[in-house]
Amino acid sequence: MKLVSTPRIDFLRVLAAEILHNYGRGRTIIAIDGTDAAARAAFADDLAAVFREDERHVFRASLRYFQHSRAEQQRLAPDTPERMYLVGYDYSALRRVLVEPFRMGGSTGFVTEEFDPDRDTWIQPTWQTAPADAILIIDGDYINRPELHGLWLYSVLLEGAPASEAQAHYLAEVHPRDVVSAVVDTTNREAPLRVLTDRC
């Protein structure tokens, strides 16, 4: 379905065209980074909608649904502002049930949600399959940390929101600006702007 043109949608169409130019065939995983969870999810959802304008097969996921249980987090680290950054997420599960099977292609099944952090319980898995050409857009905190390097073909860093203590630690330690494919200023959510970065 064709979306109503707005500055935000037009921006996302240009971004989608860039991604398709470079990764228009096979399985493509796109990561959305940034300090504002709601803005990340909305940006990822809208980007998915833009891809679907072109009748692309698009799947959505969030690191939020690949967290460790509260008990496991307590076992792994003391209760500090940085605990979520240090041990909050189950990257092994993310790779095992989502990223690796999605990248394999064929009829291999994958799961886009494994754990409900609000209810602190496992989610009954819903296995999905995808055609040979498909896009997975995943958003989340700390999504460009070293443990996840190489998993995403394209990544976007959203800027314009304040960072928590743990997020500030991540930004200072990982410097995601230096590794992402695109930096986007979302101070004005309805009119995002591409930020040119000097990586020399």
- 3-state secondary structure (DSSP) of residue 176: helix
**106 falls in which pLDDT band (50, 70, 90)?**
confident
**8 falls in which pLDDT band (50, 70, 90)?**
very high
- Rounded-to-integer distance, Cα 183 and Cα 103, Å: 25
Residue 200 above 80 pLDDT? no
Round the average pLDDT of the chain to a whole number and report it: 95
At a CB cut-off of 8 Å and minimum separation 6, what does 65 contact?
Answer: 112, 113, 114, 115, 116, 117, 123
- Rounded-to-integer distance, Cα 59 and Cα 41, Å: 13
**197 falls in which pLDDT band (50, 70, 90)?**
confident
**pTM of structure:** 0.95
pLDDT in tens, 146-162: 999 999 999 999 999 99
Question: pLDDT value at position 199?
Answer: 56
Residue 1 above 90 pLDDT? no
pLDDT in tens, 122-149: 999 999 999 999 999 999 999 999 999 9
Q: Where are the domains of the chain?
A: 26-185
- Rounded-to-integer distance, Cα 188 and Cα 173, Å: 27
pLDDT in tens, 31-89: 999 999 999 999 999 999 999 998 999 999 999 999 999 999 999 999 998 999 999 99
At a CB cut-off of 8 Å and minimum separation 6, what does 43 contact?
Answer: 12, 32, 34, 139, 156, 158, 184, 186, 192
Portion of the chain with pLDDT greater than 90, in percent:
91
Domain 26-185 has CATH 3.40.50.300: yes
